């Protein structure tokens, strides 16, 4: 007479920043002793059979000579990684009758890789899994090393274990596992090692950086080597307000998918992502050669800062791949068997030299030796559509000796904290007026909420005809002008704000067209 047993254990897959529920179904029946895995498992998941078998054997769990079938449902969803090891091991123990758990497995979800001796190891994407598991009302058991990361999820019931034996003892009501919420400590306000006060001179550049921080605008700085472009960009996060709880959690979830846990003291800080100019399209946008689709630099800078130094040195296809994410705030990566979406709401800060030699054509010392054709070819590395998507273009001149030597002390007294306070006030006015930053303002709402007088309309019409601005460029100028008016505490957008906003679009023809 045949005897069969069945067990079902819950776990979570990883698909972008979402974590679909996975039912690990285990069926044990008479037959040739074997463990088979079904349900579209990748090679790394199939290796779980050997890890589970070794971990159970090493800890004295004797399995009966049964044919064991493990189904990872839903079967049409690709399964990658070692995240199902713990769930499979517990399902095998329950289905074979090797252990009769006192607690019902239906109230738990299990995540973690098993070592051959039964120790639990962390896996990427733990944070998204815990966020979605908390919505199901189940308790999540994770490797103990992941508890500090999971503690950030408000309302989640998360327990940590260092070993398979600890999990089994807990389910047998013989042991208590530590909870994640007990490890949550009060996070101090962000402390920055760099400060805007470190930058000598460049008052105009600092003003434009404050403008971009206040309204959420993108910026391209063009100047000779050593003018302070990179130094200014590195200090840009220090003038941005700290991340809100929801924003910080969304950013941490993306880093968790990439296997990069955010440090507790940096949890509310804006991340500064600066890929090298040799980065590929997959490194910038996301993807990769493996079965697990990884987030790219633009997603790792979600709600933060993406800095592209030496912009013309990036490969043209890499820069062109940024065009859609900069507009939509999301990255869509499509493969044959899956489609993944990553959020990518970034503030783009770019830096470039004006010519191959690094200097302006009218350099007073004659250091630019490039011909006009060489300069034009260098500038055409940046397409017109990409330049059109950058709100502000700024020329950053070399620093004068008097400023570099600190002789103008009154011109360098503002700290990042002082600027950040003004930025926070300006952003608060925007949120109170329209519920979003000016850079995020929908085109459909601009005309109604941002009325212009006749003089301002005439100025914009003249500028569009002379500069050949696109509709996108027109709307970006309006958004920048609205931020300038907010910085001055003005209710309406005046001609002065529009004139200054237009002055930051003088390089629209700098890049190549098409």
Dig out the tokens for 445 from the structure. Answer: 């709402």
Backbone CA torsion sign across 484, 487, 493, 495: negative
Q: Is the pLDDT of residue 3 over 70?
A: no
Residues 387/507, Cβ–Cβ less than 8 Å: yes
Q: Is the pLDDT of residue 1 over 60?
A: no
120-121 vs 113-114, strand pairing mode: antiparallel
pLDDT digits (tens, 9 = 90+) for 22-67: 999 999 999 888 999 999 898 889 999 999 999 999 999 988 899 9
Dig out the tokens for 275 from the structure. Answer: 């890929």
Q: Is the pLDDT of residue 140 over 90?
A: yes
- Label residue 2 by pLDDT band (50, 70, 90): very low
- SS3 of residue 110 by DSSP: strand
Q: Is the pLDDT of residue 514 over 50?
A: no
pLDDT digits (tens, 9 = 90+) for 86-130: 999 999 999 999 999 999 999 999 999 999 999 999 999 999 999
Per-residue pLDDT at 4: 66
167: left (phi over 0), alpha (psi -120 to 50) or beta: alpha
- Label residue 456 by pLDDT band (50, 70, 90): very high
- Label residue 340 by pLDDT band (50, 70, 90): very high
Q: Which DSSP symbol is given to 31?
A: S
Summarize the confidence of residues 337-364 as an average pLDDT: 93
Rounded distance between C-alpha atoms, residue 222 and residue 119, angstroms = 53
Dig out the tokens for 206 from the structure. Answer: 């600092």
CATH topology of domain 196-437: Rossmann fold (3.40.50)
The C-alpha angle with vertex 31 and arms to 27 and 36, in degrees rounded to 5, equals 50
Supply the mean pLDDT for the chain: 92
Summarize the confidence of residues 241-269 as an average pLDDT: 93
Dig out the tokens for 322 from the structure. Answer: 């940024």
Helix (H) / strand (E) element for 220: namely strand 219-222
Distance set, CA 416 to CA 142, 206, 232, 234, 441 (Å): 40, 10, 11, 12, 26
Per-residue pLDDT at 409: 60
Summarize the confidence of residues 291-299 as an average pLDDT: 91
Dig out the tokens for 286 from the structure. Answer: 């996301």
- Label residue 508 by pLDDT band (50, 70, 90): low
pLDDT digits (tens, 9 = 90+) for 65-90: 999 999 999 998 889 899 999 999 99
Peptide bond into 74 cis (omega under 30): yes
**Domain locations in the chain as residue ranges:** 5-182, 196-437
Per-residue pLDDT at 194: 94
Q: CATH for 5-182?
A: 3.30.230.10
- SS3 of residue 350 by DSSP: strand
Rounded distance between C-alpha atoms, residue 481 and residue 265, angstroms = 36
Contacts of 146-151 with CB under 8 Å at 24 or more apart are 146/112, 146/122, 147/178, 147/180, 147/183, 148/180, 148/183, 148/264, 149/252, 149/256, 149/261, 149/262, 150/126, 150/180, 151/180, 151/181, 151/183, 151/184
Half-sphere exposure of 26 (CA within 13 A, CB side): 26
Residue predicted with more confidence, 271 or 463: 271
Summarize the confidence of residues 147-176 as an average pLDDT: 95
Summarize the confidence of residues 450-468 as an average pLDDT: 90
Summarize the confidence of residues 462-473 as an average pLDDT: 88
The C-alpha angle with vertex 493 and arms to 492 and 495, in degrees rounded to 5, equals 130
Residues 24/9, Cβ–Cβ less than 8 Å: yes
Residues 213/270, Cβ–Cβ less than 8 Å: no
Residues 120/193, Cβ–Cβ less than 8 Å: no
Q: Which DSSP symbol is given to 139?
A: E
pTM: predicted TM-score of the whole model, two decimal places: 0.92
Dig out the tokens for 324 from the structure. Answer: 């859609």
Q: Is the pLDDT of residue 269 over 80?
A: yes
pLDDT digits (tens, 9 = 90+) for 355-383: 999 999 999 899 999 999 999 999 999 99
Rounded distance between C-alpha atoms, residue 215 and residue 15, angstroms = 32
Length of the chain counted residue by residue: 514
Which residues is 71 bridged to in the sheet?
25, 38
- 189 alpha-carbon distance from chain centroid: 21
What proportion of the chain, given as a percentage, has pLDDT over 90?
Answer: 80
């Amino acid at each position: 007479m045949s005897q069969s047993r069945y067990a079902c254990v819950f776990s979570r897959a990883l698909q972008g920043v979402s974590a679909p529920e996975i039912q690990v179904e285990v069926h044990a029946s008479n037959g040739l002793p074997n463990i088979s895995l079904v349900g579209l498992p990748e090679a790394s998941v199939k290796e779980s059979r050997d890890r589970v078998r070794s971990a159970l054997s090493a800890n004295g769990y004797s399995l009966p000579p049964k044919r064991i079938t493990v189904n990872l449902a839903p079967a049409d969803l690709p399964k990658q990684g070692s995240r199902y090891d713990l769930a499979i091991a517990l399902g095998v123990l329950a289905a074979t009758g090797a252990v009769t758990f006192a607690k019902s497995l239906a109230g738990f979800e299990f995540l973690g890789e098993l070592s051959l001796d039964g120790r639990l190891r962390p896996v990427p994407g733990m944070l998204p899994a815990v966020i979605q598991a908390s919505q199901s009302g189940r308790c999540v058991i994770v490797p103990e090393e992941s508890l500090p990361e999971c503690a950030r999820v408000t309302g989640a019931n998360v327990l940590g274990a260092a070993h398979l034996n600890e999990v089994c003892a807990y389910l047998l009501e013989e042991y208590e596992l530590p909870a994640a919420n007990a490890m949550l400590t009060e996070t101090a306000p962000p402390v920055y090692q760099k400060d805007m006060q470190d930058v000598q001179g460049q008052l105009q550049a600092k003003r434009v950086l404050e403008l971009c921080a206040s309204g959420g605008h993108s910026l391209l700085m063009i100047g000779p080597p050593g003018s302070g472009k990179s130094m200014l960009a590195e200090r840009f996060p220090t003038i941005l307000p700290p991340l809100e709880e929801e924003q910080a959690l969304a950013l941490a979830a993306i880093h968790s998918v990439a296997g990069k846990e955010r440090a507790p003291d940096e949890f509310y800080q804006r991340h500064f992502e600066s890929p090298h100019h040799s980065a590929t399209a997959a490194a910038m946008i996301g993807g990769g050669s493996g079965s697990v689709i990884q987030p790219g630099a633009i997603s790792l800078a979600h709600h933060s800062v993406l800095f592209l130094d030496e912009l013309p040195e990036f490969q043209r296809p890499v820069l062109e791949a940024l065009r859609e994410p900069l507009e939509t705030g999301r990255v869509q990566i499509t493969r044959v068997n899956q489609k993944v979406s990553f959020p990518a709401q970034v503030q783009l800060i770019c830096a470039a030299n004006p010519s191959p030699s690094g200097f302006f054509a009218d350099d007073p010392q004659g250091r630019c030796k490039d011909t006009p054709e060489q300069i034009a070819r260098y500038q055409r590395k940046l397409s017109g559509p990409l330049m059109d998507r950058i709100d502000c273009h700024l020329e950053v001149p070399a620093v004068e000796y008097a400023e570099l030597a600190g002789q103008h002390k009154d011109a360098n007294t503002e700290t990042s904290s002082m600027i950040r306070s003004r930025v926070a006030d300006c952003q608060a006015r925007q949120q109170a007026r329209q519920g979003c930053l000016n850079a995020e303002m929908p085109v459909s709402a601009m005309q109604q909420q941002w009325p212009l007088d006749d003089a301002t309309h005439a100025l914009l019409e003249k500028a569009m005809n002379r500069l050949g601005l696109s509709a996108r460029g027109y709307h970006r100028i309006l958004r920048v002008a609205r931020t300038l008016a907010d910085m001055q505490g003005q209710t309406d957008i005046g001609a002065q704000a529009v004139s200054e906003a237009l002055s930051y679009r003088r390089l629209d023809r700098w890049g190549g067209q098409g």
